[in-house]
Amino acid sequence: MKILNFTFCFIFLFFASAGVRANGLPDADRDGVPDKDELELYYTDMNNPDTDGDGYSDFEEINRGFSPHNPEPVKLIDSDLDEDGLSDAWEIKFKTNPNNPDTDGDGFKDGEEADYGFDPARGDGARLDVSLKINLDAQTLDYLLNSYVWRSFPISSGKASTPTPTGEFKVVNKIEKAWSRTYGLWMPYWLGLNVSGIGIHELPIWPSGYREGENHLGTPVSHGCIRLGLDAASYVYNRIPVATSVLIH
């Protein structure tokens, strides 16, 4: 009997120690996803290798881009379990809980916070790393959160004779309805950059009321500024504070 007990203990210890996997980190259910990541990143059951019981392990699902929380074959990017405006794929990027619409409990939904550049995992008003990236070849402006592209908009940058400068800049001022003395037109939702006279703004309006057409977007026709469409310009203006980095390439 004593020998049997000893054997049992030995087997138990063997399997307990075999629980240490996943690149040497503790992995209680031995599914290849470390306990720490199950608790803090994927919010899966660290004691169940198949959290949603669909026959595919958490490891397998996460690595193939599927939700380990949904027994249906739904991709992480198409799943928003807690309906907070942040897909399960983005919840992983921001380390928020895909089953809790307000991870930090500050009264604002995860998706709403992220959209305005606030860290949805931290309730102390902490900001995400917000920046803009402008691609002159593609004629796009990307709004980045922690270096991930959150939103992308078509632009119209400077034409060949008045090209938009490239390099790393910063937003230095914001004017809701800026007036260009040089060209005699309004430039709504102006975000000025630290390079002479260059800014990001809405499609300009002439004093006559004529508005440059949306059909300019995607084509470089400006005097050097970066023009955005009607909804895009106010969206970006309302989310970008002074001192935000702007990379133009």
Binding site for Ca ion (CB under 5 A): 27, 29, 31, 33, 50, 52, 54, 56, 80, 82, 84, 86, 102, 104, 106, 108
CB hemisphere CA count around 94 (13 angstroms): 34
Compute CA distances 193 → 36, 132, 201, whole Å.
42, 12, 11
- Residues 223 and 202: their CA atoms lie apart, in Å, by 14
| Nearer Cβ to Ca ion (108/150) | 108
| Nearer Cβ to Ca ion (33/134) | 33
| Nearer Cβ to Ca ion (107/207) | 107
Which segments within 1-94 are labelled E, that is strand?
Answer: 20-21, 25-26
Question: Considering the complex, what minimum distance in angstroms separates the CB of residue 139 from Ca ion?
Answer: 31
| Nearer Cβ to Ca ion (82/202) | 82
Question: Considering the complex, what minimum distance in angstroms separates the CB of residue 74 from Ca ion?
Answer: 11
Question: Considering the complex, what minimum distance in angstroms separates the CB of residue 120 from Ca ion?
Answer: 5
Contact 30, 18 (CB under 8 A): yes
**In this structure, how many other beta carbons lie within 10 angstroms of the beta carbon of residue 82?**
21
Question: Considering the complex, what minimum distance in angstroms separates the CB of residue 58 from Ca ion?
Answer: 6
